[in-house]
Structure 1
Amino acid sequence: MSARGPTEEEIRNIIMPLMLSGAKMLDRHCPNCGSPLFEKDGKVFCPVCEHRKKQQKAEMKGVEERLMEKLNELANSLPEDIDELEKHLRAMEKIIELLERYRKLEGGE
């Protein structure tokens, strides 16, 4: 399944500034999104796909940060009651599992 073509915002904020920076728009298009390919400094690339990939990584980084915040919050508020403590620890284990999965997806650890 291929991604949709560039939005008006992507054209305005990514493609137009790229053209003004001296990048050369090629007569070929990205097989993923249909955006024109560009060449700059000897590198041929799709600016839209690169931008979307960066956005996705930033969003995922935000998820990781929120998970770490929740983990720290739970670690700093361990209850005295053994049943509640077990619930806390199970929640912490789940968060750690999610973090490990995320890092594997991102090519880390």
Structure 2
Amino acid sequence: MSISDEEIRKIIMPLMLSGAKMLDKHCPKCGSPLFEKDGKVFCPVCEHRKRQKVGKMKSVEERLMRKLTELANSLPDDINELEKHLRVMELIINLLERYKNLEGGE
């Protein structure tokens, strides 16, 4: 995935101003120049994209947890409605487990 002008302005320019050293090597994944700061060589664009992705996943995870709590706090007395509630709760739990596995695989 190539680097956009917006990412250059938003990510790379402040990094250069902070004293990070731009290297003459490029990231094989996105093509961005690699940087070195405090002895660590890294791709600022890939790190930024990863933080954004994790942030989005956390947001989805939080919404799923709110819905799960809402359903758990409003269990109906009718057995048919209760079964529907429990099926939805099970689906939400499965989604949450998948999100946890995705986070661990990063």
TM range (shorter): over 0.9
SS of match in other structure, 2:75: coil
Q: Deviations over 1:11-33 (max 9, x none)?
A: 11110000001111111110000
Which contiguous aligned blocks of 4+ residues in structure 1 show a shift greater than 4 angstroms?
none
Equivalent positions of 1:27-66 (< 5 A) are 27-66=24-63
Question: What is the distance in 2 between the residues matched to 1:105 and 1:13?
Answer: 27
Question: What is the distance in 2 between the residues matched to 1:106 and 1:67?
Answer: 15
Residue 83 of structure 1: aligned partner: 80
SS of match in other structure, 2:104: coil
Work out the number of aligned pairs and report it: 105
Question: What is the distance in 1 between the residues matched to 2:101 and 2:3?
Answer: 30
Question: What is the distance in 2 between the residues matched to 1:107 and 1:6?
Answer: 26
Unaligned runs of 5+ in 2: none
Cα RMSD, aligned residues only: 1.2
Residue 5 of structure 2: aligned partner: 8
Question: What is the distance in 1 between the residues matched to 2:90 and 2:101?
Answer: 17
Q: Select between 45-54 and 69-78 the one with higher mean Cα deviation.
A: 69-78
Q: TM-score, normalised by structure 1?
A: 0.91
Percent identical pairs in the alignment equals: 78
Post-superposition offset of 1:101? 1.7
